[in-house]
């Protein structure tokens, strides 16, 4: 509201008294700030970097989920994991035939090994899991996620990013 210090001869309040007019104007401005759309608001570099990292992480998780659901892919992934864990020997003088026999024996031993204990994902605290890709039995935490679950997860992360972007 204009004041006497701004050079006005007289200020008249037609509908309400001065205090009520100031309160009404303040509530009107506050309401407009809440409801008016800001067109020129653009995401910053930090937001874009975090968002692209998130998209890559979610796509990797979805790939792991599809691999876990498909038994053929699951067997291939477990085989690759075992190969990566096994110490590799380069040029230690073994013949190729002996190496193949040892590999076959190792595969048979791995088949005979007891399976990992079954862990029920419903009994776990999701915040206590160290690796969401393996809850202890080789099953990802998100193994039973549907489309809606992925959408809720993305929405939650988007809100998290928005809150931290506007600190």
Q: Which of 135, 139, 116, 137 is nearest to 127 (CA)?
A: 135
**83 alpha-carbon distance from chain centroid:** 29
pLDDT value, residue 142: 79
pLDDT value, residue 107: 58
Compute φ and ψ for 52, nearest 5 degrees. Answer: -65, -40
Which residue carries 């997860």 as its tokens? Answer: 153
Whether residue 117 contacts residue 137, with contact meaning beta carbons closer than 8 Å, is answered with yes
Structural domain boundaries in the chain: 132-167
In whole angstroms, what is the distance from residue 77 CA to residue 64 CA? 9
pLDDT, tens digit only, all 167 positions of the chain? 777 788 888 888 888 898 999 999 999 999 999 999 888 888 889 999 999 999 999 999 898 888 887 777 667 767 777 777 666 544 454 455 555 555 655 555 555 444 556 666 666 677 777 777 777 777 777 788 889 999 999 999 999 998 898 76
C-alpha to C-alpha distances, 37 to 129, 154, 166, nearest whole angstrom = 41, 23, 16
């Amino acid at each position: 509201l204009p004041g006497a210090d701004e050079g006005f001869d007289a200020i008249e309040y037609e509908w309400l008294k001065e205090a009520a007019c100031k309160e009404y104007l303040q509530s009107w401005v506050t309401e407009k700030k809440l409801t008016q759309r800001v067109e020129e608001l653009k995401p910053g570099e930090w937001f874009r970097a975090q968002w692209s990292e998130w998209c890559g992480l979610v796509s990797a998780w979805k790939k792991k989920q599809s691999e876990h659901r498909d038994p053929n892919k699951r067997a291939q992934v477990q085989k690759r994991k075992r190969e990566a864990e096994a110490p590799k020997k380069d040029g230690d003088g073994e013949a190729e035939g002996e190496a193949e026999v040892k590999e076959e024996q190792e595969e048979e031993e791995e088949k005979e090994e007891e399976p990992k204990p079954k862990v029920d994902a419903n009994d776990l605290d999701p915040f206590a899991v160290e690796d969401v890709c393996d809850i202890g039995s080789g099953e990802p935490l998100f193994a039973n996620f549907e489309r809606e679950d992925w959408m809720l997860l993305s929405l939650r992360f988007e809100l998290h990013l928005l809150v931290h972007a506007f600190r």
